[in-house]
Structure 1
Amino acid sequence: MPAPSSADTKYLEVHGSKWRVVVNVPRKLRGKLGTKLKRSLGTDSLREANRLKWDVVAEFQAVIRQAERPDMSKEAALASARVKAMEEAQRLSLRRLVAFGTEQRERVDDAIEDYAEALAGDPIEADEQGHPVYEPKRDALAMEFLAIAKGKRTPLDFHHEKYMSMSHVKARTAADDKRAVKFLKEWCEKTGVPPYLQAMSKREAVRFCDDLPGLVGKSDPATLNKYISRLSVYWAWLEGRHEVDANIWRGRRLKKPMQTSDQKERPFTDAEMKALLRGPADQAMQDVMRIGALTGARLDAIVCLKVKDCQNDTFIFKPQKQEPGPRLCPIHPALAEIIARRSEGKEEVDDMFPEWPGPKKAGSLRERSFKTSNQFTEYRREVGVDDQKEGKRRSLVNFHSFRRWFITKAEQADQPEHIIKAVVGHKRSGITLGVYSAGPLLEQARQCVEAVKLPELVAPC
């Protein structure tokens, strides 16, 4: 539990028998201001020192800002002070939230009031009744600080860091989460909506969705809905913790335009399959295409396979999309030579496709298969397999078309729908292959996989 505010020694040190304020000077300014700015508060009471320190701290920070930028305007100085004030408001708000008992809560409130008084500064005049009048912008900043520190206003991203630490999503999804909140804050700034949870209602959510294409710079509903979805997940988390009354993003999606059948991404035709499999692709690309065609697996799951994932006549693909865990898929007999060749002389932890090791840059959000996908696109176009429609960013055929082709061929071979879904990892109700390489479901899955034949292997009629 954090120490109560009366025991807080931030910006304080004992000098002799008295407390004094100490603020570190940035290294680049020490030649001008010295290592530290110090001033005695004339008291031996830590509680009193905590009450008095904020005026001095604010003054010292203003001195440092002025030294950093001698030409800084009052507006810029106030903006800088606001950033620091909002950070302190959030810190004190958290301390107030976990304060134990009335006495500790009152101590935190005293610290909040003291800081707010320091922000407001000295009165600039008195009104007709003799009440002090403060500089309007500084007074407004002090009132905003009070509202946040005492929990009456909550910045949109106040809880976001904690939410992210508990979300356990992939790096790319985490990046989408952060961008979604950034877009919402930008929208609030542009439209004048206060950037607080308490100011957000269903009406604001509708307005934000209407304006989102301009913020993102794209009009594709799939891209826009990605950000709305991330906000909905965040709000659901907030709702579960009673930080908001309702999830204002629930069910809010931008409709995709109606597509005719000739505008939808599709499976490869048999003629396209022959062109791809008989073309001048290198060995690695040939192997990847065949595994994609005879498993229906996504490209990244294939490229990330290790030797230990290709044993006992069964693939173990890493989770993709909404899959809760690794997925089993029987190895088609036509792939046995590929698996044997790529496993030979390797350890279980070695990659099956070392040709594509993935991004070298630390923290990259790209999937390991990023370069594989680009190379496949170049090869596909080289052999004349393409279906580009006006207004569509992607071709209607791509590596995912192997997955669509596999599902189509399995259906044409009269395989049960629930088994096909289990093999390719589609959502299904109450069915799983389990975690062992035996049992009736896995055997049914093996029959499903082996019912699919590559065009080049089909004997002519």
Structure 2
Amino acid sequence: MPAKSKAIKDTLYLQRIGNRWYCRVPVPSRLRSELGPYLRKALDTSDINEARKRRWDFHPIAKAQIELAERRLGLAPTRPAEGPRERSYAAFRARLKEAGPAVFTNVVDGEDMSNPALDALVDRAERSGDAEDTDFVQAFRDHVKDRKVVSEVLKEYLEKNPKRSMTTGANYGTTVKLWIEHHGDRPLHDVTRSKALDWLNAVSVGKARDTIKRYATVMSHLWLWVYRAADERPRNPFEDLTQAADERGRAAESYDFFSDDELVKAYKAVAEDEELRPLFLISIYTGFRLSECMAAERQVLGEQECFVLLTGKSKNAARVLPVHAKLKDITAPTGAKASALSVRFGRLMRKAEIPEGKTFHSLRKSFTTALERLGCPEATAARLLGHAPLGITYGIYSKGRDVAELKKWVDRVSHPV
């Protein structure tokens, strides 16, 4: 029966005494008073390779002796008639897990031994035909190699790497849920790049770029956790995955601007929120990102009130932008977390039935689109949006140079809110 050997160790069921090899089959504890701890048979060879072949001649004989002893002593297990059993990877893994590990240490002599319960399960699977099922074969292989399914990996990873916020932990859970819905709750060892890309393309429809990137990053972290102790590991199938995603997962679609009707509808959704309402208005009249709305300071430069942003997403994000008339009495909230506000904004948009893909960042796109419609020169728009150096180093602080020119374009931006 070599096909069922499992080959957990090269010396499975083998024992060497002097120069000779023996086949040694463990006896269930309830029969040891009758048969002893092992059934042993000399294999009449000192060659390990030959011993590995001959052990399978005695193995079925030993199992038959054990079954005979069980019947003789009235110890044969009696099982109730079973109805149809689920034939799926998850069901097979559950049964294998219940049977226990493939190998455990014998407390008598400290040596590894095969798990009789697992052997019995495999025997039943062969008789029922389950052993021919590809899901059973995969489940058995993963069980013997002690591979954790992805939900178990997630639990272990978060226990060892606790996240600072509940939102981050929830994002990990959401990502794994999406993975399981697409590929099942299985180990990550056999994931190929094409399988990973197929999944990312499927779940990225209508999602923002940052969300898609987060999906790939979470799965990459979990994959690396699985292989953390490996001397050599294959290529991470989730590494740089967003760069290969379909067009439907790219930023241009995810960060589409709000139409005028959508902008009115979105503003109504945040009108009662004392934190999101002012941030909403600041963004559509400055093009600031959410974090920039909260970080910008107000200063008077060249007789003009301006937003001054000293740091940002990139080196060019530091910029000065004249305050639009609509924002004269609007003040950004303090003490709030941008991540929490972003999540809250998304929930309000879904509740208001705003089309998928419209995020807070889409408000920045609305400002950009307004400048384009006005015919704003590209160089000026780039400076207003932080895509090119505005020129704090050019002396804006001391002379207010360029502020008046920028204000002409900012004041011409108009929205229906």
Q: TM-score, normalised to structure 2's length?
A: 0.44
RCO higher in structure (CA 8 A, sep ≥6): 2
Q: Which has the larger radius of gyration?
A: 2
